[in-house]
Amino acid sequence: MAGEDELKLLGTWASPWASRVKIALHLKGLSYEYVEQDLDNKSELLLSSNPVHKKVPVLIHNGKAICESLVILEYIDEAFGAIGPSFLPADPYERTIARFWAAYIDNKLAIPWAQAFKANTEEEKAEGLKQTLAAAEMLEGVLKECSKGKLFFGGDNVGYMDIALGGLITWLQETEELCGAKFFDTAKTPLLFEWMERFSGLDAAKVSLQDGGRLVEFAKGGGLR
């Protein structure tokens, strides 16, 4: 086949950021080579593809490396714009909303979550959890106002924000096990809970998300990066 695209994804099975990219590639129907990385013994390929951060995920498209999961999502959306669904909406204002909430997920959910998980003191943990659960409430509010009864943050179909949050699902599902409080609580955040179940049921999610039990074992064993 002429003009074949070569796609390689460097990731770790536990990484929610890599899960985001796997989900996106699957939704687009793109085939790629997945290369599991050992972060304790970083490969030449990882170091040369992401010399600045030396982190996963890295998407290598025809030899060119793209780093940072949200940058990769936008790249996939743009480079493969003619294939499969679009992640970002067409309307400029709606695009700003999607980008705003993706940034929120990274800064206001993921960071406090990590704090709650890694906390050395009860105080630090409590503060991290408080912010994490506040983020859950916030996202519940977004679903209530924005989705207008539709299935996903993106509307009828999975969009950028869904993928941004979706990659984190297994980690978030294990919040009670790992940090002491439930993130997806059907009583407190019913819409978010439903969203989580719906998203997890997608083929793209099934092949990209981790097994909860294995993840907990890994995390408790000191594996979180």
Partner 1 sequence: MEKEPKGDDGGDLKLLGLTVSPFVIRVRMVLQMKAVSYRYIEQDLFIKSDLLVTSNPVHKKVPVLIHGGRPVCESSAIMEYVDEVWAASTTGASILPADPYERATARFWAAYADSKLLPAWVGIMWAATEEERTEKVDETLAAIGRLEEAFGECSNGKAFFAGDSVGYLDLVLGSQLLWFGVLRKMFGVVVIDDDAGSKTPLLASWAKQFVETDMAKEVVPDVDTAVEYLKKLQAHRPGSTVTQLLS
Residues at the site binding partner 1, with contacts judged by CB under 8 A: 52, 61, 64, 66-68, 71-72, 74-75, 78-79, 92-93, 95-96, 99-100, 103-104, 108, 138
Paired strand residues for 11? 36
Strand stretches in 43-202, DSSP E: 58-61, 64-67
CB of 74 to partner 1, least distance (A): 7
Q: State whether residue 191 is helix, strand or coil.
A: helix
Q: Report residue 21 as tokens.
A: 């990219």
**Angle at the Cα of 121 from the Cα atoms of 120 and 126, rounded to 5 degrees:** 115
Contacts 24+ apart (CB under 8 A), 187-190: 188/136, 188/137, 188/140, 189/136, 189/137, 189/139, 189/140, 190/140
Comparison of 2 and 52: residue with beta carbon closer to partner 1? 52
In one-letter notation, the amino acid at residue 133 is: L
CB of 154 to partner 1, least distance (A): 16
Comparison of 31 and 62: residue with beta carbon closer to partner 1? 62
CB of 30 to partner 1, least distance (A): 14
d(CA 16, CA 13): 8
Strand stretches in the chain, DSSP E: 7-11, 33-36, 58-61, 64-67
CB of 186 to partner 1, least distance (A): 24
Comparison of 45 and 151: residue with beta carbon closer to partner 1? 45
CB of 170 to partner 1, least distance (A): 25
CB of 177 to partner 1, least distance (A): 29
Comparison of 46 and 202: residue with beta carbon closer to partner 1? 46
d(CA 204, CA 83): 16
Comparison of 112 and 173: residue with beta carbon closer to partner 1? 112
Comparison of 7 and 178: residue with beta carbon closer to partner 1? 7
